[in-house]
Amino acid sequence: MKKYTVSGICFLVLILSAAGVYAQVFSSTGVNTAPQINSERALQIAFTRAPAGGTLVAMDWELKRAGSEWEIKIVHNQMQYDIKIDGNSGQIISYRERRYTSRQPLPQPPQNRISFERVREITQSIYPQGTIEDIEWEYSYGRWVYEVDIRVNGRKNTVYLDSVTGSQLQRTGRGNARTWI
């Protein structure tokens, strides 16, 4: 009988230790704070590898276990440059060139889009207790939008914001409409 009690306690300690390490990894990355490398600096780093005159067509910030990561897509002369940058150190993690083939040409991205940092503030005002896991800027649903994945009470929600005004376009998740607001 004592054998099972001791092993049960050891198992419980092991589980709690693992949970503590997991929580520490996410809390040490600054889950609800901006990454050390902001969006403008990430773009500067990406454009050091992509040819001059390229057009930014998509940008993504994602929370990872070991920190955060920027993924930037630049198009120039029928080529797409996919560049991943560590959100903490600014080091280029991966770089890939490939032929850019689009079914239809993308409209020119807005020059006056709001920053990722402002998107983070807007989303935190909508879900103050949420943890932002991913922010994407892309052409979707016929317009340039920010798509933000945020976890609230263990459930994933997605918020779509207009990339110029920051107004909320759509919210998905339990109890939310799935159409443009």
Q: pLDDT tens-digit profile of 35-56?
A: 788 999 999 999 999 988 999 9
Q: Measure the CA–CA gap between 140 and 58, rounded to whole angstroms.
A: 10
Q: Average pLDDT for residues 130-152, to the nearest whole number?
A: 91
The pTM score is 0.72
Position 46 scores a pLDDT of 95
Strand order from edge to edge, sheet including 92-99: 92-99, 79-86, 67-76, 55-64, 131-140, 143-152, 155-162, 168-172
Instruction: Give the distance from CA 71 to its chain's centroid.
Output: 9
Report yes or no: 100 and 48 within 8 Å, Cβ to Cβ. Answer: no
- Quick one: pLDDT band at residue 174, thresholds 50, 70, 90? low
CB 166 within 8 A of CB 119: yes
pLDDT for 17 equals 46
Polymer length in residues for the chain: 181
- For 23, counting Cβ atoms within 10 Å of its Cβ (0-12 exposed, 13-18 middle, 19+ buried), the class is exposed
Q: Which two tokens stand for residue 8?
A: 């049960």
